[in-house]
Structure 1
Amino acid sequence: MTSIFDQYEQASQVSQRAQPVPEPMTSSGYINMQLDDNTPMFSKQKMNFSPSDVITHVAVASDYLVLAMANGNLFRMDLKNPKEHEEVKYSKFVQPNTKLTGIFLDPLGYHLLMAFAPRTKDGDPELVYLHRKSSKLKSVSKSRNYEVTEVGWNYENTSDITTGPILLGTSHGHILETELEVDNDKRFTANQQYWRQLPNYLPLYGSKEIDGLIFDIGQGADMPITGIQFHRVVNSNKYFIFITTPTRLYQFIGHAISTDGKPSLQSIFYQYLTMPDTGFQEIPSTLKYSKLQFFFDKYDVPKTFAWLTEPGIFYGQLDPTSQQNSNSLFTQGELINFPPESDSKEKAPLCFVLTEFHALLMYSDKVKAVSLLNQECVYEDRYSEAHGKLKSVIKDLKRRTIWAVTDKSVFRYKVVREERNVWRIYANKEQFHLAKEYCQQNPAHLDIINVKEAELLFSKGDYEASAKIYAETLSSFETICLKFLEVEQVNALKTYLSRRLEALKDDDNTLISMIVIWMTELYLSQLGVLRRTGKDNTDEYNQIQSDFEVFLLNPKVSRCMQHVKAVIYDLMSSHGDKQNLIKLTLINEDYENVVAQNIYKKSYLEALNTLKELRKPDLFYQFAPVLMEEDPKHTVNALISQGQKLSPSKLLPAFLSCENDEAHVSEIIRYLEFMLQNFNVKDKAIHNYLLTLYSEYDQAALMRYLERQGQDIVLVNYDVHYALRLCREKNLSEACVKLSALLGLWESAVELALEVNLNLAKSIANLPEEVEMQRKMWLNIAEHVITKNQDLKEAMSFLEECPLIKIEDILPFFSDVVTIDHFREPICQSLQEYNMQIEELKAEMEEATRSAEYVRSEIQSFRGRSALVSATDVCSLCDIALLLRPFYLFPCSHKFHSDCLLHEIQPILGQARRKKLQDLQRKLSVMSNIELQTRTSSGLPLRELIKNEIDDIVASECVFCGEYMIACIDKPFISDEDWDRVMKEWE
């Protein structure tokens, strides 16, 4: 049950807790949001035990508590098991004329040193050692001449039987180095491994230490050591040492010499023996004491230090690595003043504990917590007289717990989120990066920090940086925009709008559209001003243009452009910015607008250049009619430059809509000829259109075109019937001859050719493949020529040009007045040719007669041919006697059983023959004997006829000598299933 004194203590603690002043809201984003945590930052709890006497000294390490009491007893307790505690009588182990001045417990909680001072001038000081697992104290013999006031423990030591190298500070300013180790017999008595008095001179290399010479901080004056801390620099073999006296803070750094695998700190002081006035910070003080505290991060590396003196706490950040060539091992050192005390006679705290952001100051009747960042008192806890005066406040460095000890009680302090208000302090000190680090990503706190930072940058004139941070806040959009407009900072305004645009979600369409339009207007205005002032080739103009292009390429802007492009186009048109208008259409793929505007302004070359850059065939097809009508030459040049990317058939509407004048037609023909010659266009519509233009404007080109297309109707690319009809309408006889011949209208072609040119008619007459047609056309030509001229020489020339025509064929074409004497020679020649043909026919008949006789003799010889089969003959396939079953005998002397041959021949038959064989076998097995005896039209029984058909299939040739064997040449002689058997036979 809580006593009335404890209840009063708790009420006093709550009432005295400092309340932070609420931070006014500077951002409109969070309304009525509680920014402060109401949980107490510091609170204490009393330990549930009562000491046997007044507590005089205390030490805590690794959850192990040691109390020294006025009755000469030591109280030891394992804080994890409070029931396990004991008391040890220490007074019987020390001289009676000494008094206890301090107890020191190593960080592991295993090694305890107790320092005693003489009560009279004649007495000797004493230092005793007590192990955690022992109840007997052991005097450290070599310490008789030194009154130890402070111990610098080895924080890297992990052993429970040795302390490792440690430093001892004395009341006269001496520094000693030693190491204590438990006896091997586990009697827990301290053996001094060594006792080094740090020398006050720089020894020569290889020389030994001289006893009696020591490193003297006080330089002969009595200046007691009040604090010692030494640590190894991370990732190095260097050590740094802090030593304090009531008025000075000394710093040492250097390499420790390794002896038997353990560092010797003595060497660190060598370089400072010749520099007695360097390496310390002095603060005047009338106090006879001071306190040194370190704060360790989560990796147990010293992070900050604090030194309690009369004027205040000297506080700084430890950074020994960056100050290797300097006398100072810390940065940002400052003096933190103590809170004013109106009701106390104490000038300074008696003791203190250092946390990450606060210092807990202990007075005789209260504990105060002071912020290390803004020096404000954030907590005050008063102790009642019932608990007695405060003796010490101490921190367990390993377990990070804080303990306060009075004459009669022990209290534990709980620290809850001491960093909760750090962000506000850093923000007020304009250290915004630290404020953001410690605001724990709280959106309300982060917003306040950003607003303060942005306002500070704005006041300093760093507008663009201010705009970037303003964009991360929830401040009023209109207010921030007006701030930049008032100071005419367009670039900063663009930066703010750009950052806000990036932060918007895709469904914020209205705000996105507004920002996009506004930023476009700002960019266009800046570019327009520079163009009007002749600065369109400057770096400033190029930078703004580049930023504008990047802005237009933003995916969010591109999506927005699809909805507001009409407004953007109007803006660009009003500024006369054609270049960016074209670039915008490229980004939005809205090319039609730019080309249409260029055509409207009669800037046909610009329109064509735009189309060529865009490479969009659909736009070419769309605008080609207008461009061909207005500027045919440049349009055709543009079309030719596109090559095969454009389809000529889709451009026909543009060509057909042009005026039928020579300028337009010549350009169209030039384009069509280019496509035909370079890309072998086969579209019939294109060829028909080109042929139409040729027929009307260039007949010579038409004939060249028909020649190139050739005389194969399958290979020509135009419609021959259409071409013939067109040429007839235009009275193009020569072209009609070509086309008629192409269609196979030979007679018509020859008739037309005779009207044009005799040679043309002769060339047409040689084209048909049918000999009879050639002869007929040549006769028509001969009739036309002979009937017209009755010229005998010309008639004879026909006989020479065409061997198909004989003299008797052309004689009817001559008139009756022409006598036969004129044709004597050709008639005689013709008769001679007939005689030669008759002789050839006779020879052929005699050869045929001889061949027939030979065939008849061969047939007779086969009829008398026979073969002998003996009883010992076997089947060539199964090696069984041949006469046991029906068999086949081939002229090649191979013999096969019918069933063996059938089995052998079936796999190599074709599918059709195999099916026919199966059908015949099925018929033979299914039909009755009566049906099989039925005679067929050939006079043979049906059974005999079926067997003959089977024999024709099975025994058409020998399987060993015929084509079957040749077809099986790639097959192995031994099948896979017979391979094992054959191998065994061979063995």
Structure 2
Amino acid sequence: MTSIFDQYEQASQVSQRPVPVSEQMTSSGYINMQLEDNTPMFSKQKMNFNPSDMITHVAVSSDFLVLAMANGKLFRLDLKMPDQHEEIHYAKFVQPNSKLTAIFLDPLGYHLLMTFAARNKDGSPELVYLHRKSSKLKPVTKSKNYEVTEVGWNYENMSLTSTGPILLGTSQGHILETELEAESDKMFTASQQYWRQIFDIGKGANTPITGIQFHRVNKTSKFFIFVTTPTRLYQFIGHAMMADDKPSLQSIFHPYLTTPETGFQEIPSTLKYSKLQFYFDKSSNPKTFAWLTEPGIFYGQLDPTSQQNSNSLFTQSELINYPAEKDPTSTEETTPLSFVLTEFHVLLMYSDRVKAVSLLNQELVYEEKYSEVHGKLKNIVQDPLRRTIWAVTDKAVFRYKVKREERDVWRIYSDKEQFDLAKLYCQNNPAYIDIINVKQAELLFTNKDYDRSAEIYAETQSSFETVCLKFLEVDQVTALKVYLGKRLDALEDDKTLISMIVIWMTELYLSQLGSIRRTGKSDSQEYHQIQSDFEVFLLQPKVVKCMQHIKSVIYDLMSSHGDKDNLIKLTVINEDYENVIAQNIYKKSYMEALQMLQTKRKPDLFYQFAPSLMEKIPSQTATALIAQGPLLNPTKLLPAFLSCENDEAHISEITRYLEFMLQNFNVKDKAIHNYLLTLYVEYDQAALMKYLERQGQEIVLVNYDVHYALRLCREKGLSEACVKLSALLGLWESAAELALEVNLSLAKEIANMPEDESVQRRLWLGIAEHVITKSQDIKEAMSLLEECQLIKIEDILPFFSDVITIDHFREPICQSLEEYNKQIEEIKAEMEEATTSAECVRNEIQSFRNRSVLVSVSDACCLCDIALLLRPFYLFPCAHRFHSDCLLAEMQPILAPARRNKLKDLQRKLNLLSNIELSTMTSSGLPLREVLKNEVDDIVASECVFCGEHMIACIDKPFIADEDWDRVMKEWE
């Protein structure tokens, strides 16, 4: 049970870490975060062990504790079972005049070596072995002449019965190699596989070995060995002979037997002792070492694989001074008696206190004085595998707990300006990382490494405005861009700040580019690099997304700088093709604008920019329009065409495009045809006539406004075109008159066009009058008679003058008379034929008056199968007979709507009019009743319902309607 004094002592333990210099918190993101850890870094706890006498020596490995006591006994305890311990009387196994000097426990905690020195000249040193499972000590016989002062254990040995190859250091400086095995308790001595001396450091002088360690390098045959004396640290490197995975270390020393001593570190010391400690990483590989000397702790980093210096195993080393006493007049020892090495600290043991010094900045972080009640401190040791730390006094055993000894490592590395290491040990604490980054950024800024400083500042929580002002004050625009770019990358949802940074960075790039252009160095490497960086910036996804909201601001910004090239590139990136084309046109890069139009194939853009392009590059624009084909509506391009200058180059290209669209895509829009016709009228009359010819002479099929075309042609005096158009409008007389002004053949062509022969005859008479009146040429007049059969000699005679005699027309007059005689004879024949036909008709009518049909009583209606004579009926020449009401019912559904309505009207009159009204005589001499009945008969009985045209029209209809199938099927059954 812990005493009240022990409880007080434990409660009073405080880490003596100096109060750190307060950090200048330029960050804004971590104001209230607790940065200090007040938990003690080192604290001890007294163990409830009760050794039977004063403790003289201690050894701990793998949670197995061995204490040597003044009464000649060993106290052994498995720390996993603290309630079970044993004591072994070792004094009876050694010479009476021997004195215990040290005990050594292997890393597994199974093999214990005890070294004894002679108290007088008559005695001899001894080495005794004790196995964990045994209670009998066994001497190592071959060690009689050697006083062993240090043991180098084999850390790779996993055997519980054998130590494996080990090294022994003696007081004379000899290094021995041996292997010990545990045998049965009946054996009087420890079994030695071999025993050999492999090196002599003292070379004849008594140079005691105070520390020895050997380790294998990465599972190879290469080993390194550290050996210390009070003043020297030796390093041995070489390859061992391997047998059954056991090394023979003697071969490592062979090269050093014949070479001068060079591989050692010497530190002057008046002490007769020193200590060597290693610190192992999580993979049980040696990471650092420390050597206790009089001036201080010689500390270094181990790197056995380094090829830089084959003679040295450590890459970094320094001498750590012992902490000075607070009272300069104090008589306490200044050199510790022992020490323990941890990852970041070294615990120094004095006779009455324990101090902890940081390996990184050599500051004292812990100090505790032991009470005299427990006696003086004997040793402080560390379990090499479990890494537990134990301090032993004369009367007690204490266990040290190390709580987060790396807590201040980040701060120390930061103070030493080793910022990467500082971040490595700050355990991802955002407040610590921010402090480190701020300090690193400020240092870089002070050293004028502005770009790197900007990168680090962007990772801090420092005020955005403050950092920007720092770079602006020193006119470091490039560094400012780096800072803004990094901050932009880190932003996610802050649209306002993103927009501000994008605008600001754009302004910075444009300003830099503009400044270089003004100096005339736009071809320099610097200019191209800034331009390249600017383009990369504009292509960033976050910037592209932001541009959708602020592109008008950016466009105005670029325009204000006169940077048309970048403005066009930006519009391309934003797919703002309208602005791209507009900027190209503004730059007078018309071909580039046209290429952009052709690439994107967007009709709206063509309609928008066609006027400008058609004005400047008509030929290329017309070719591009033709390439678009049906994608463009020619009607929407009319404003572009109308805005062009009326010169030959523009008109020919417009005409070329319109002709292409009409010929290949059959455009029928009247506006297009009217515009093309206008161009023809103005500039190409030959093409106009071809166009009119292609359009034809059917006014309903032409695509242009004929009246508009006729007006234009009249204004321009195009007589031939007016003739065509007048003929198209049916103005034959006007067309013929104009044609006569052009040429006679055109007039004859017009005269043959009308379908009405009377019109043709009139037109030909006009032509004849014009020809005869003009020249009185009889031959030409005769040729007119031959060309047109509609006019005769007598029609044209009035057009000749009185001086022309009839003898000139004898032949045509005779020919005309012969034709008249022939026509008379034909008419006579027709009259005789008509007389004969009339006589036949009269005879046939007479025969019909005497014709009759016999109706018997058994005859039935063809529709209802009821006796025919029961009701009024109709009898057809085909012998079909129907009751009048049956035929009426049958005919009504098949009559046309107009005849059906007329039939209903006649029936209504017959039913509604009185007998007096029906008996009224009509103008035909028949009563009204007879007239109405005759009209009903004409509608109902005009043909037989079975034999007439109705039956032929119903040939494709089924005999049985769909709705009657069920009824018919039942009847057939």
The TM-score by the shorter chain falls in which range?
0.7 to 0.9
Query: 307-316 vs 485-494, which deviates more?
Result: 485-494
Residues 1:927 and 2:927 aligned together: no
**2:357 is aligned with what amino acid?**
V
Superposition deviation, residue 657 in structure 1: 4.7
2: CA distance, partners of 1:560 / 1:608: 31
Q: Kindly tell me: are residues 725 and 21 of structure 1, through their superposed partners in 2, closer, same or farther at Cα, counting changes over 3 Å?
A: same
2: CA distance, partners of 1:486 / 1:103: 69
Higher-Rg structure is: 2
Note if contact 2:27-2:460 (Cα within 8 Å) is conserved in structure 1: no
1: CA distance, partners of 2:206 / 2:958: 127
Note if contact 2:747-2:767 (Cα within 8 Å) is conserved in structure 1: no
Superposition deviation, residue 819 in structure 1: 4.8
1:378 to 356, 365, 368: 365
> SS of the counterpart of 1:83?
coil
2: CA distance, partners of 1:682 / 1:229: 105
Note if contact 1:746-1:765 (Cα within 8 Å) is conserved in structure 2: no
**1:817 is aligned with what amino acid?**
P
Q: Kindly tell me: are residues 779 and 80 of structure 1, through their superposed partners in 2, closer, same or farther at Cα, counting changes over 3 Å?
A: farther
Query: 813-822 vs 527-536, which deviates more?
Result: 813-822
**2:464 is aligned with what amino acid?**
F
2: CA distance, partners of 1:656 / 1:287: 112
- What's 2:931 paired with? none
- What's 1:491 paired with? 478
> SS of the counterpart of 1:484?
helix
Residues 1:282 and 2:289 aligned together: no
1: CA distance, partners of 2:442 / 2:149: 53
- What's 2:19 paired with? 20
> SS of the counterpart of 1:720?
coil
**2:22 is aligned with what amino acid?**
E
- What's 1:299 paired with? 283
- Mapping of residues 612-627 of structure 1, within 5 Å: 612-613=595-596, 618-625=604-611, 627=612
**1:575 is aligned with what amino acid?**
H
- Mapping of residues 54-65 of structure 1, within 5 Å: 54-65=54-65
Note if contact 2:437-2:456 (Cα within 8 Å) is conserved in structure 1: yes
Superposition deviation, residue 32 in structure 1: 4.4
Note if contact 2:622-2:654 (Cα within 8 Å) is conserved in structure 1: no
- What's 1:605 paired with? 588
**1:317 is aligned with what amino acid?**
Q
2: CA distance, partners of 1:567 / 1:184: 95
> Which consecutive residues of structure 2, in runs of 5 or more, have no partner in the other structure?
772-777, 798-810, 823-955
- What's 1:179 paired with? 179
Q: Deviations over 1:515-538 (max 9, x none)?
A: 333333333332222222222221
Note if contact 2:451-2:479 (Cα within 8 Å) is conserved in structure 1: yes
With normalisation by structure 1, the TM-score equals: 0.72
2: CA distance, partners of 1:17 / 1:651: 90
- Mapping of residues 689-708 of structure 1, within 5 Å: 689-705=675-691
Residues 1:722 and 2:704 aligned together: yes
1:240 to 217, 224, 248: 224
Note if contact 1:723-1:739 (Cα within 8 Å) is conserved in structure 2: no
2: CA distance, partners of 1:765 / 1:235: 120
Query: 665-674 vs 179-188, which deviates more?
Result: 179-188
- What's 2:571 paired with? 585
Note if contact 1:131-1:188 (Cα within 8 Å) is conserved in structure 2: no
Q: Kindly tell me: are residues 100 and 663 of structure 1, through their superposed partners in 2, closer, same or farther at Cα, counting changes over 3 Å?
A: same
Q: Deviations over 1:882-913 (max 9, x none)?
A: xxxxxxxxxxxxxxxxxxxxxxxxxxxxxx99
Residues 1:326 and 2:313 aligned together: no
**1:326 is aligned with what amino acid?**
S
- What's 2:390 paired with? 403
1: CA distance, partners of 2:425 / 2:666: 75
1: CA distance, partners of 2:108 / 2:722: 119
Q: Kindly tell me: are residues 43 and 489 of structure 1, through their superposed partners in 2, closer, same or farther at Cα, counting changes over 3 Å?
A: same
Note if contact 2:27-2:434 (Cα within 8 Å) is conserved in structure 1: no
Q: Kindly tell me: are residues 712 and 67 of structure 1, through their superposed partners in 2, closer, same or farther at Cα, counting changes over 3 Å?
A: farther
1: CA distance, partners of 2:616 / 2:385: 92
1: CA distance, partners of 2:640 / 2:655: 13
Superposition deviation, residue 152 in structure 1: 1.2
Q: Deviations over 1:235-282 (max 9, x none)?
A: 533111111111111111111111244221111111122223111111
Note if contact 2:62-2:108 (Cα within 8 Å) is conserved in structure 1: yes
1: CA distance, partners of 2:732 / 2:112: 135
Q: Deviations over 1:575-628 (max 9, x none)?
A: 3333333333334455656766887xxx57246744644756544433444x26
- Mapping of residues 392-431 of structure 1, within 5 Å: 392-431=379-418
Note if contact 1:640-1:674 (Cα within 8 Å) is conserved in structure 2: no
Q: Kindly tell me: are residues 354 and 710 of structure 1, through their superposed partners in 2, closer, same or farther at Cα, counting changes over 3 Å?
A: farther
Q: Kindly tell me: are residues 928 and 419 of structure 1, through their superposed partners in 2, closer, same or farther at Cα, counting changes over 3 Å?
A: same
Superposition deviation, residue 490 in structure 1: 2.3
- What's 2:72 paired with? 72
Q: Deviations over 1:341-375 (max 9, x none)?
A: 34452131111111110001111111111000000
- Mapping of residues 772-851 of structure 1, within 5 Å: 817=812, 819=814
1: CA distance, partners of 2:959 / 2:379: 115
- What's 1:472 paired with? 459
Superposition deviation, residue 691 in structure 1: 3.8
> SS of the counterpart of 2:120?
coil
2: CA distance, partners of 1:411 / 1:264: 39
**1:292 is aligned with what amino acid?**
L
Q: Deviations over 1:747-805 (max 9, x none)?
A: 9999899878898899999999xxxx999999999999999898899799989xxxxxx
> SS of the counterpart of 1:524?
helix
Q: Kindly tell me: are residues 632 and 104 of structure 1, through their superposed partners in 2, closer, same or farther at Cα, counting changes over 3 Å?
A: same
- What's 2:295 paired with? 311
Note if contact 1:73-1:91 (Cα within 8 Å) is conserved in structure 2: yes
Q: Kindly tell me: are residues 4 and 705 of structure 1, through their superposed partners in 2, closer, same or farther at Cα, counting changes over 3 Å?
A: same
> Which consecutive residues of structure 1, in runs of 5 or more, have no partner in the other structure?
199-214, 800-806, 828-911, 930-987
1: CA distance, partners of 2:795 / 2:237: 137
Note if contact 2:548-2:574 (Cα within 8 Å) is conserved in structure 1: yes
> SS of the counterpart of 1:7?
helix
1: CA distance, partners of 2:36 / 2:548: 47
**2:530 is aligned with what amino acid?**
I
Note if contact 1:447-1:473 (Cα within 8 Å) is conserved in structure 2: yes
2: CA distance, partners of 1:318 / 1:750: 118
2: CA distance, partners of 1:94 / 1:185: 16
- Mapping of residues 158-169 of structure 1, within 5 Å: 158-169=158-169
- Mapping of residues 109-124 of structure 1, within 5 Å: 109-124=109-124
1: CA distance, partners of 2:491 / 2:32: 24
With normalisation by structure 2, the TM-score equals: 0.73
2: CA distance, partners of 1:417 / 1:118: 45
- Mapping of residues 138-537 of structure 1, within 5 Å: 138-183=138-183, 190-198=190-198, 215-234=199-218, 236-323=220-307, 325-341=309-325, 342=327, 343-509=330-496, 511-537=497-523
Note if contact 1:73-1:90 (Cα within 8 Å) is conserved in structure 2: yes
- What's 1:100 paired with? 100
1: CA distance, partners of 2:758 / 2:477: 95
Q: Kindly tell me: are residues 698 and 165 of structure 1, through their superposed partners in 2, closer, same or farther at Cα, counting changes over 3 Å?
A: same
Superposition deviation, residue 500 in structure 1: 2.6
Q: Kindly tell me: are residues 458 and 921 of structure 1, through their superposed partners in 2, closer, same or farther at Cα, counting changes over 3 Å?
A: closer
Q: Deviations over 1:399-448 (max 9, x none)?
A: 12111111221111111111111111111111111111111122221122
Residues 1:37 and 2:48 aligned together: no
2: CA distance, partners of 1:451 / 1:159: 54
2: CA distance, partners of 1:797 / 1:919: 71
2: CA distance, partners of 1:227 / 1:438: 31
Matched residue count: 804
2: CA distance, partners of 1:479 / 1:730: 78
2: CA distance, partners of 1:293 / 1:101: 19
Q: Kindly tell me: are residues 68 and 808 of structure 1, through their superposed partners in 2, closer, same or farther at Cα, counting changes over 3 Å?
A: same
Q: Kindly tell me: are residues 924 and 53 of structure 1, through their superposed partners in 2, closer, same or farther at Cα, counting changes over 3 Å?
A: same
- What's 1:132 paired with? 132
1: CA distance, partners of 2:190 / 2:752: 134
> SS of the counterpart of 1:81?
coil
> SS of the counterpart of 2:236?
strand
